Structure 1
Amino acid sequence: MGDTTSLERMTDHTPRLDHVVLWVRDPVAAADFYEKAVGLRPVRLPEFVSGQAPFPSVRVSEETILDLMPLTAAERMTMLPGSADSAGHPVNHVCLSFDGDGFEALRARLEERAVPVSDLSYGSFGARGEARRAFYFRDPDGNIFEARHYE
């Protein structure tokens, strides 16, 4: 795949992952973990701290973020019947892909912070085919992540 321009992205009607909402006990602490351990830049953190935004996020890519939803907001989740019951029930896992250097840097940052990581696995299937290497870790709220790289 070559580079795409903004105009090409606007006319490309392929569905894309916009965001994943993670339930967290402390959004500020979660944003700190994702920034320092995982390397994802916080979004709307000052606005959340000042009460201007209901939750902060962290940026995965130009098009994708992880929302760090406070567990205290569960009772206000009324968009569908039973939505509030999803609090405390994380998805199986979320997978983030990195280039080789980013993959190594992530593992090193997690280990520096004593975050347990799984053994490496090889050849697991994902959105871009078989990954060269992968491993799993948990965030401080118990959400499970897989990190992988393809190249």
Structure 2
Amino acid sequence: MATPFNIEFLDHVALRVRDLAVSMRWYEEVLGLTPYKLPEWGDYPVFMLAGKTGIALFPAQGERSPGEETSRKPGIDHFAFQVTREEYEKAKRWFKELGLPYEEQDHHYFLSVYLKDPDGHTAELTTLVVKEEEFYLP
């Protein structure tokens, strides 16, 4: 079924990990991902990037992340698709039309909506609100 909005690409998958430093080292040394911390966000998440996509590492016992209610166990926290700002607004209208509950958050660089799939997995749609050069590595 076609939706009234379009997804650009998979932005990130968020993982809860037992040891942030060990995981960062593994993803950097084994997969060649580049660690990237956002000073406005504190110590985590730590993004491990390959271009504009990657993973976001959260400590398994850390604070609740957006859209997450109870799990603190290691595993997949959520997945995120990037959309343009226009498509982001279309998606919110669509979710309202469908009567789907969602949570919206301002992440300084991004705006995001979080919603649950039928199995309880958290899906995120995110849109960049600053220039690409201000967020993505050269």
In which range does the TM-score fall when normalised by the shorter chain?
0.3 to 0.5
- TM-score, normalised to structure 1's length? 0.39
Work out which structure has the larger RCO, using CA pairs closer than 8 Å and 6 or more positions apart in sequence.
Answer: 2
Which is strand-richer, 1 or 2?
A: 2
Task: Give the alignment's TM-score, normalised by structure 2.
Answer: 0.42
Which structure's residues are more often helix, by fraction? 1
